């Protein structure tokens, strides 16, 4: 599979859902709720871990689980961005510029 950029991910996620006739379920509300559920599933993996354990998670048996939840989160985010017509690249650039002004480098 070729490297997927944001636009390609959006197209791939949309096509996957459309092929299964899921479009009627992919309202912004439903996608935001699904995204929240997937983030909760990721949080559950880390729930009772120490900071050190959470930092070392990718060298444990939980690696695949973490990667699957991150993939689910990313897919739902791509579908939500598509449903709302958001240019995520532009939104990210604008937010990073805002953050740079809000949190300037220490002197």
Q: What angle do CA 23, 72, 54 make, to 5 degrees?
A: 160
**Residue 107, domain member (yes or no):** no
State the residue range of the domain holding 43: 6-102
Give how many domains the chain has, as a whole number: 1
89 within domain boundaries:
yes
Which CATH number goes with the domain that contains 76? 1.10.287.1080
Contact 32, 80 (CB under 8 A): yes
Q: Please give the Cα distance from 13 to 36 (Å, whole number).
A: 17
Could you tell me the pTM of the whole model?
Answer: 0.88
The pLDDT of residue 24: 94
Query: What pLDDT, on a 0 to 100 scale, did the predictor assign at position 89?
Result: 87
The one-digit pLDDT tens for each residue of the chain (107 residues) are: 566 688 888 999 999 999 999 999 999 999 999 999 999 999 999 999 999 999 999 999 999 999 999 999 999 999 999 999 999 988 988 999 999 999 999 98
Task: Give domain status of residue 85, yes or no.
Answer: yes
CA distance 13 to 34: 14
């Amino acid at each position: 599979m070729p490297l997927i950029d944001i636009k390609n991910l959006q197209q791939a996620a949309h096509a996957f859902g459309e092929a299964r006739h899921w479009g009627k379920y992919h309202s912004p509300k439903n996608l935001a709720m699904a995204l929240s559920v997937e983030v909760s599933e990721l949080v559950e993996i880390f729930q009772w871990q120490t900071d050190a354990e959470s930092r070392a998670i990718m060298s444990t048996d939980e690696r695949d689980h973490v990667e699957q939840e991150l993939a689910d989160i990313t897919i739902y985010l791509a579908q939500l961005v598509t449903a709302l017509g958001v240019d995520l690249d532009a939104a990210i650039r604008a937010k990073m510029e805002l953050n740079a002004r809000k949190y300037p480098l220490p002197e």
